[in-house]
């Protein structure tokens, strides 16, 4: 099983960042616009269209406001198994540590997933810092 972890410090408050992360159906507008080009909810899942044209079904597993942790699993697609989480914590200076972790199978999907997560993390940081300034 492959395990990938991406993290970045975002120059915005944890409350601002968490508000965007927890809005499960609006990641294409609030968190990673351009990376995700569309999303809509179907029950406990969101159907996400990515800039690559890929459309994936992501099932909500946990939305924990107290711990600022969101967990989801991609159902189908290129994965035999997929479980991901984003965890938001406060840095000593008041900024936000954004941590995205993913466990997946098959391992052959890891390189592409790693590249997508790297880009998604960068877009989230730029979006949330831009929202704060703008």
DSSP assignment of 57-70, as one string?
A: EEEEEEEETTTTEE
Q: Is residue 73 part of a domain?
A: yes
Q: Is residue 71 part of a domain?
A: yes
pLDDT above 70 covers a percentage of the chain that reads 97
Q: Is residue 37 part of a domain?
A: no
Of the candidates 18, 17, 11, which has an alpha carbon nearest to the alpha carbon of residue 68? Answer: 18
Could you give the number of structural domains in the chain?
1
What confidence score (pLDDT) does residue 131 get? Answer: 66
- Mean pLDDT of all residues in 114-131: 96
Residue range(s) defining the domain that contains residue 78:
2-20+58-133
- Whole-angstrom Cα distance, residue 89 to residue 95? 9
Q: Output the pTM of the full model.
A: 0.93
Q: Is residue 95 part of a domain?
A: yes
Q: Is residue 8 part of a domain?
A: yes
- Whole-angstrom Cα distance, residue 7 to residue 86? 9
End-to-end CA distance of the chain: 41
Q: Is residue 88 part of a domain?
A: yes
Mean pLDDT of the chain: 96
Q: Is residue 36 part of a domain?
A: no
pLDDT > 70? residue 132? no
Which CATH number covers residue 12? 3.30.530.20
Q: Is residue 42 part of a domain?
A: no
């Amino acid at each position: 099983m492959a395990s990938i972890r991406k993290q970045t410090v975002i120059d915005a408050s944890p409350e601002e960042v968490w508000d965007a992360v927890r809005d499960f159906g609006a990641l294409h507008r609030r968190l990673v616009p351009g990376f995700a080009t569309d999303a809509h909810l179907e029950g406990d899942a969101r159907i996400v269209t990515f800039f690559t044209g890929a459309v994936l079904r992501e099932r909500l597993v946990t939305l924990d406001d107290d711990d600022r942790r969101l967990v989801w699993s991609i159902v189908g697609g290129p994965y035999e198994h997929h479980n991901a989480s984003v965890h938001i914590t406060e840095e000593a200076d008041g900024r936000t540590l954004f941590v995205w972790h993913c466990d997946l199978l098959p391992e052959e999907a890891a390189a592409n997933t790693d590249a997508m997560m790297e880009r998604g993390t960068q877009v989230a940081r730029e979006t949330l810092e831009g929202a704060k300034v703008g």
